[in-house]
Structure 1
Amino acid sequence: MNHDIPGGAAWSAAVKAGRTLTLTALADGANASVLIIGADRLDRLNIPDTLKSQMSARIRAGMVLMSDRGTALATVLASSLDWHDGLAGRGPDRLLQLELAKHGFGEADLHACINFFSKVGISDDSRASLTFVPDHATAGDTVTLRADQDLVVFVSTAAHPLASETSPAGVAVRIEAGEEVGDPPELREEAVRALEVTRGLLV
């Protein structure tokens, strides 16, 4: 399955366990705000647990995206960038909320997301607040996820909430079913445990 999401739009799809989902930036400065919910509606992406348990302030290849129940939703298999933002949340647009409604979800289901292709840093103000790092992603950058359980994936291509650029870029989505993909060798113990729990539930 292939689909191009224009800048400033949203898209969603069911992704079966074991399939890979690849996002590709179609222009410089792309941002893909991604929400992930288990198809059983019990597991929701939990950004704090994902980052804390894997001792990271960024999303990168070799990490497992965890749910609020400690299960593995998806594994980041590969990425042309070493930093994707999991700190700044989503923008004020209603794109994701409208997309959620197509699957029977409401505003309460609009939880924290990952901003793939975007990077934030710490500003030099007195509050050490987050600041957007421009020129991080360029056209052709990619990130590939493996679904570790049946999922519903939501993607918005609205501009990053901290970006001053108001002309968002498009993102291509490719979902593939192929040979079984092994786990990245650099997984932390906590990530391995989440995968084991998830696979136990799927038996």
Structure 2
Amino acid sequence: MSNPIFTDLIPGASHWSLVVPAGHSLTLTDLEGGANVSMLFYNPQNLLERYNAPDSLKCQHTFKLTTGNCLYSDMGRIFCSIVRDDTQWIDTVGGVANKSKVAEKWGARDYQKDRNAWLQNGYDSLLVEVAKYGLGKRDLAANLNLFSKTFTDDEGNLAFAEGHSKAGDTIELRFEMDTLVVFTTCPHPMNPAVEYPNRPVEVSLSKAAPLSADDSCLNHRPENARGFENNQRYLAMPNVCSH
């Protein structure tokens, strides 16, 4: 990773967005341990194109995502590649908590009474952020939860892995096409913590190294090579291939 173009501290229970240009990397670091980053992706030139969780999982034959995996759009293109994941497991199915879920787990607070000590939820946070781009409820696809892990226990129930991410754990995403990145740092809906987990993350943007023929993400699955080919065609003729 080259020297960062910029670095920001994103507090817990916050939301954030940025259009990341192709050929750049977004690096996120869990500063205290136990962070959660619920993330979505959109094509800024065509907001109807967005992250597709089922395609990202089935074409790479996996339930989790980690280093070497690619994140696909619903048009068969690759938004970004995971070039580093210290946690070795990114949750793909946990979703986000809504206002009632947060109130049930951690009590009801609102900004009018509690100001910055209120308890924000992931669903409303994402809605506020996507609204800046003219998007709404129907545009919230299934999200990723970086720094969190869900798995099936011996009885087949979905379970949350406590203490999955440690202080200093880093995830780096290399962007293969211009991408609108939207995320919230609200807690994972399955987090059993007694106190509302308010965990900050550091975000930095930097120039990525050029894609090489031996790139681990490109060669992780045969399907990924086709995804990168779709990107090449799109980048060569964006006005023809965007719809």
Q: TM-score range by the shorter chain?
A: over 0.9
Q: Partner of 2:64: helix, strand, or coil?
A: coil
Residues 148-163 of structure 1: pairs in structure 2 closer than 5 A: 148-163=176-191
Residues 122-137 of structure 1: pairs in structure 2 closer than 5 A: 122-125=152-155, 128-137=156-165
Q: Going by fraction, where is helix more abundant, 1 or 2?
A: 2
Query: Which of residues 216, 236, 240 in structure 2 aligns to 1:184?
Result: 216
Shift of 1:42: 3.6
CA distance in 2, matches of 1:73, 1:43: 10
CA contact (8 A) 2:174 2:208 kept: no
Deviations 1:6-38 (CA, angstroms, capped at 9, x unpaired): 011111111001110001001110111111111
Change (3 A) 1:8 1:187: same
Matching residue's letter, 1:157: T
Query: Which of residues 114, 134, 137 in structure 1 aligns to 2:144?
Result: 114
Deviating more after overlay: 143-152 vs 173-182: 173-182
Whether 1:193 and 2:226 are equivalent positions in the alignment is yes
CA contact (8 A) 1:31 1:168 kept: no
CA contact (8 A) 2:87 2:147 kept: yes
Shift of 1:178: 4.6
Matching residue's letter, 1:123: D
Shift of 1:46: 0.6
Deviations 1:133-166 (CA, angstroms, capped at 9, x unpaired): 1010011101111111111101111111111122
Residues 44-123 of structure 1: pairs in structure 2 closer than 5 A: 44-92=50-98, 93=121, 94-123=124-153
- Give the greater-gyration-radius structure (CA): 2
CA distance in 2, matches of 1:52, 1:30: 27
Shift of 1:129: 2.6
Gaps of 5+ in 1: none
CA distance in 1, matches of 2:134, 2:86: 34
CA contact (8 A) 1:38 1:150 kept: yes
Identity across aligned pairs (percent)?
A: 35
Shift of 1:181: 4.2
CA contact (8 A) 1:25 1:138 kept: yes
CA distance in 1, matches of 2:87, 2:222: 23
Deviations 1:104-140 (CA, angstroms, capped at 9, x unpaired): 2111111111100101111345xx2311110100111
Query: Which of residues 3, 8, 15 in structure 2 aligns to 1:10?
Result: 15
CA distance in 2, matches of 1:27, 1:115: 17
Shift of 1:200: 1.2
Query: Which of residues 31, 41, 50 in structure 2 aligns to 1:36?
Result: 41
Q: How many residues align structurally?
A: 201
Q: Partner of 1:43: helix, strand, or coil?
A: strand
Q: Partner of 2:49: helix, strand, or coil?
A: coil
Q: TM-score, normalised by structure 1?
A: 0.94
4+ runs deviating over 6 angstroms = none
Q: Partner of 1:187: helix, strand, or coil?
A: coil
CA distance in 1, matches of 2:224, 2:61: 11
CA contact (8 A) 2:64 2:91 kept: yes
Shift of 1:91: 2.0
Tell me the C-alpha RMSD between the 2 structures: 1.4
Q: TM-score, normalised by structure 2?
A: 0.79
